[in-house]
């Protein structure tokens, strides 16, 4: 397979929808840009990426995406600084993880050049769509799914890799109240929990609906065997601060290797914060809350960046988190977004200029 | 919501593809009939089912099926007897299970009348497609997936329920050699393993490919925590015969409540076979093989009916199953297919005449 991309084919949209968009009132992921990148896998190889007008996809009803869940995705953002320069944040980490997810789902991996050149060509064509308003960015959604036909339960022989973009405001507003889950689970040992696989998300919706009905915003996932260990917060990684120590669960085959997660770990260490990457029990968190040493809990992910937790529920009881003047969540969010928006030095080399 | 269906809308295809099909050489699930049933969920309700010419589906790239894995399906068959009568096998069990799966995936449930009337209208229009050749049947695939738009990780607001059909020959040919899995897992406690959710299948493909590369046909799934308990065989339930006792794992939130499985349990009991529905360890099966009491292992499911296992691999060693003149697999397969094809009395009331 030729893994270099000489020319991404670009077919521009005849008209733009950009004038219809209020960039000062963006929701998350509901408005799409004028174009998308499409790359098809046929006859054992990925074809040359194309940038085309954003348009519907036509598929046979027997396409395996409708039956056997072969789908993976990534979440990224493009940021515009005050000089109109456009930046990505650690994009090669997304490219690598997409392939890690794909491999586990028996989806053919995508050469780095196809991912990066396709992405760059798309962002060049749609650069006017990258918001400059505070806290806003262009959300980028690379995704791959099985288009091959047939009702036999086996991997497809054809796939589609698409990158679509949505100018977006902040993901969540305000602090969230979470429920520590003791019945439902997100993933199995030896399963696909570490992958950004579609099925991982569908399985979370129902338990989350039950939590919402009880007055919570999100579920804190625990291990499926004992429900004693805290693993993820909704669709995000989780950080817990006890006294001045910041703790997060180690990645595993059940836990996503989040790019925001690992960046926050480095930034916290850079701030001189004591960081522990280790298993953390529900019991420890409840005890810390009772004895007043539980200072913060927050989710971390590309979409929301950092999502502070105001309270958690466990076994029919709610535990409030304190209000802090100087929280790690606020400090780390400022550090990471200052790098992302090119407002501060990037000593780690995470920014990627377009 | 009006849960009765007065009239299924029928739009017939202008031409039929049936003359192009060799009914004596049917593979499994690769040829589709002339029509399909489509039922859309919009504005909080399922619309009236329609039978339309089999045709491609057009979707927005942000449709949640491509991102968050909200999809469930069923597998059923229609059988034609020698008098050209058409029969289904326990169809209401499929209808109920589709809703059980849907509920867990936060997909709106489908009223029984919509499922049954839509299915009947489709089979009436495509009745010429139901094969009469020995061992063949019309494979029926009801499936539901999220069509609602948006990149936000939340349940969709629109869905599509489709029934498509494929005239099919036998699913597997010959006995299969299986590998007892000790690393990868199919499902978690509190997860979606009991549901016919797309994501459960995508997660099986890669471990199965690894097993195939080692010379096996399928994987035997064990529990994700200890890998000590045998749970499923590929995408089928599993039965194990030690001496004259037939053992199968109890259903759970990790194990599918198979319709073939529960029918075989009843038929085996009816034959006077000692049936035990209980947890069974890998150790017990290996011991039974070593001391000569392991007589049979077979998978059970709608597509393959019964799939006899010739050998299993465990920890780098292969264990052969004996060749039996009178196997439970053959006896039970004859009993169940004789009922399905209306060749024998149906004392359980499982047949459903169309």
Tokens of A217: 């915003």
CA distance A126 to chain B (A): 17
Query: Are A224 and B190 in contact (CB < 8 Å)?
Result: yes
Mean pLDDT for all residues in chain A:
96
Tokens of A230: 């805290």
Provide the CA A228 distance to its chain's centre, in angstroms. 25
Give the C-alpha separation, B310 to A193, whole Å: 33
- Cβ–Cβ under 8 Å, residues A158 and A147: yes
How far, CA to CA in Å, does A200 sit from each of A93, A117, A195, A351, B71?
20, 29, 8, 29, 12
Q: What is the bridge-based pairing of β-strands B50-53 and B9-10?
A: parallel
- Cβ–Cβ under 8 Å, residues A268 and A213: no
- Burial annotation B30-54 (CB, 10 A radius, 16+ → b, else e): ebbbbbbbbbbbeeeebeebbbbeb
Chain position carrying tokens 């070593």: B290
Give the C-alpha separation, A83 to A86, whole Å: 9
Neighbours of B278 (CB within 10 A): 9
Query: Are B56 and A59 in contact (CB < 8 Å)?
Result: yes
How far, CA to CA in Å, does A198 sit from each of A204, A263, B259?
11, 24, 27
Give the pLDDT band of residue A30 (cuts 50, 70, 90): confident
The answer to whether residue A1 scores a pLDDT higher than 60 is no
CA distance A234 to chain B (A): 10
Partners of residue B205 in chain A, C-beta under 8 Å:
68, 70, 105-106, 154-155
Partners of residue A57 in chain B, C-beta under 8 Å:
58-61, 66
CA distance A305 to chain B (A): 14
Provide the CA B200 distance to its chain's centre, in angstroms. 13
Partners of residue B30 in chain A, C-beta under 8 Å:
149-152
Give the C-alpha separation, B301 to B172, whole Å: 11
Cα-Cα-Cα-Cα torsion A111, A115, A116, A120, nearest 10 degrees, comes to 150
Task: Report which of B269, B255, B245 is spatially closest to residue B348, judged by C-alpha positions.
Answer: B269
Respond yes or no on whether ipTM tops 0.90. Answer: yes
How large is the average pLDDT for residues A59-68? 98
Partners of residue A66 in chain B, C-beta under 8 Å:
57, 65, 71, 73, 143, 145, 162, 198
Identify the H or E element spanning B329: helix B328-340
Provide the CA B30 distance to its chain's centre, in angstroms. 16
Partners of residue A225 in chain B, C-beta under 8 Å:
189, 224-225
Give the C-alpha separation, B80 to B31, whole Å: 18
Nearest beta carbon to residue B106 from set A36, A55, A209: A209
The helix/strand/coil state of A268 is helix
Q: What is the DSSP string of B213-280?
A: HTT-SEEEEE-TTTS-BEEEETTEEEEEEETTEEEEPPP-SSS---HHHHHHHHHHHHTT-EEEES--
Residues 6+ apart with CB under 8 A from B254: B186, B187, B188, B189, B191, B193, B194, B223, B224, B231
Partners of residue B255 in chain A, C-beta under 8 Å:
none
Task: Report which of B62, B152, B157 is spatially closest to residue B107, judged by C-alpha positions.
Answer: B157
The answer to whether residue A2 scores a pLDDT higher than 80 is no
Give me the residues of chain B with pLDDT under 70, please: 1-4, 172-173
Partners of residue A137 in chain B, C-beta under 8 Å:
none
- B133/A107: higher pLDDT: A107
Partners of residue A56 in chain B, C-beta under 8 Å:
58-61
HSE of A333, CA atoms in CB hemisphere, 13 A: 19
Query: Are B58 and A56 in contact (CB < 8 Å)?
Result: yes
- Cβ–Cβ under 8 Å, residues B159 and B144: yes
Q: What is the bridge-based pairing of β-strands B57-59 and B71-73?
A: unpaired
Model pLDDT, residue B109: 98
The CATH classification of domain B9-168, taken from the options 3.20.20.70, 1.10.260.40, 3.40.1130.10, 3.30.470.10: 3.30.470.10
Partners of residue B190 in chain A, C-beta under 8 Å:
181, 183-185, 224
Give the C-alpha separation, A260 to A263, whole Å: 5
Neighbours of B338 (CB within 10 A): 13
Query: Are B190 and A197 in contact (CB < 8 Å)?
Result: no
Q: Is A120 left (phi over 0), alpha (psi -120 to 50) or beta?
A: alpha
CA distance A107 to chain B (A): 9
CATH class of B176-340: alpha beta
- pLDDT, one tens digit per residue, over A34-58 is 999 999 999 999 999 999 999 999 9
Same fold for the pair B9-168 and B176-340: no
Query: Are B151 and A29 in contact (CB < 8 Å)?
Result: yes
Query: Are A185 and B205 in contact (CB < 8 Å)?
Result: no
Mutate to test the interface with B, among A203, A223, A224, A301 (most CBs of B within 10 A): A203
Signed CA dihedral, A54, A58, A59, A61: sign only? positive
Nearest beta carbon to residue A32 from set B62, B70, B166: B62
- B6/A112: higher pLDDT: A112
Tokens of A87: 């930046």
Query: Are B190 and A66 in contact (CB < 8 Å)?
Result: no
Q: Which residue of B has its CA nearest to A303?
A: B152
Chain position carrying tokens 């007589």: B295
Query: Are A199 and B192 in contact (CB < 8 Å)?
Result: yes
Give the C-alpha separation, B87 to B118, whole Å: 16
Region A176-336: CATH code: 3.20.10.10
Please, where are the H alpha helices in chain A? Answer: 65-68, 91-104, 112-125, 198-213, 259-270, 282-290, 328-340
Model pLDDT, residue B135: 85
Provide the CA A211 distance to its chain's centre, in angstroms. 22
Residues 6+ apart with CB under 8 A from B337: B305, B343
- pLDDT, one tens digit per residue, over A163-207 is 999 999 877 667 899 999 999 999 999 999 999 999 999 999 999
Nearest beta carbon to residue A150 from set B30, B60, B199: B30
Lowest mean pLDDT among A167-181, A188-202, A239-253, A327-341: A167-181
Query: Are B151 and A30 in contact (CB < 8 Å)?
Result: yes
- Cβ–Cβ under 8 Å, residues B260 and B333: no
- pLDDT, one tens digit per residue, over B164-187 is 999 998 776 678 999 999 999 999
Model pLDDT, residue A310: 97
Model pLDDT, residue B3: 61
The domains of chain A are located at 9-168, 176-336
Query: Are B198 and A68 in contact (CB < 8 Å)?
Result: yes
Largest CA-CA distance found in chain B, in angstroms, rounded: 63
């Amino acid at each position: 397979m030729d893994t270099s991309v000489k020319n991404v084919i670009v077919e521009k949209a005849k008209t733009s929808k950009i004038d219809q968009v209020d960039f000062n009132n963006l929701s998350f992921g509901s408005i799409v840009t004028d174009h998308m990148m499409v790359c098809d896998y046929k006859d054992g190889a990925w074809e040359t990426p194309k940038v085309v007008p954003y348009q519907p996809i036509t598929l046979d009803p027997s396409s395996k995406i409708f039956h056997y869940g072969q789908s993976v995705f990534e979440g990224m953002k493009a940021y515009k600084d005050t000089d109109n320069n456009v930046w990505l944040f650690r994009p090669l980490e997304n490219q690598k993880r997409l392939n890690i997810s794909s491999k586990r789902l028996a989806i053919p991996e995508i050469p780095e050049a196809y991912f990066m050149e396709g992405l760059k060509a798309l962002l060049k064509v749609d650069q006017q769509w990258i918001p400059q308003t505070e806290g806003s960015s262009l959300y980028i959604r690379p995704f791959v799914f099985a288009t091959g036909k047939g009702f036999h339960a086996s991997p497809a022989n054809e796939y589609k890799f698409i990158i679509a973009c949505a100018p977006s405001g902040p993901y969540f507003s305000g602090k969230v109240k979470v429920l520590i889950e003791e019945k439902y689970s997100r993933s199995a040992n030896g399963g696909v929990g570490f992958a950004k696989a579609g099925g991982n998300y569908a399985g979370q919706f129902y338990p989350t609906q039950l939590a919402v009905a009880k007055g919570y915003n999100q579920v804190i996932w625990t291990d499926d065997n004992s429900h004693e260990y805290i693993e993820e917060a909704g669709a995000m990684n989780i950080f817990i601060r006890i006294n001045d120590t910041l703790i997060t669960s180690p990645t595993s085959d059940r836990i996503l290797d989040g790019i925001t997660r690992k960046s926050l770990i480095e930034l916290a260490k850079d701030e001189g914060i004591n960081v522990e990457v280790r298993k953390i029990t529900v019991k420890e968190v409840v005890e810390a809350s009772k004895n007043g040493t539980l200072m913060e809990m927050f989710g971390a992910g590309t979409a929301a960046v950092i999502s502070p937790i105001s309270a958690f529920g466990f076994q029919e009881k709610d535990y409030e988190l304190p209000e802090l003047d100087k929280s790690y969540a606020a400090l780390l969010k400022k550090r990471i977004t200052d790098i992302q928006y090119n407002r501060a030095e990037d000593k780690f080399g995470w920014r990627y200029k377009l």
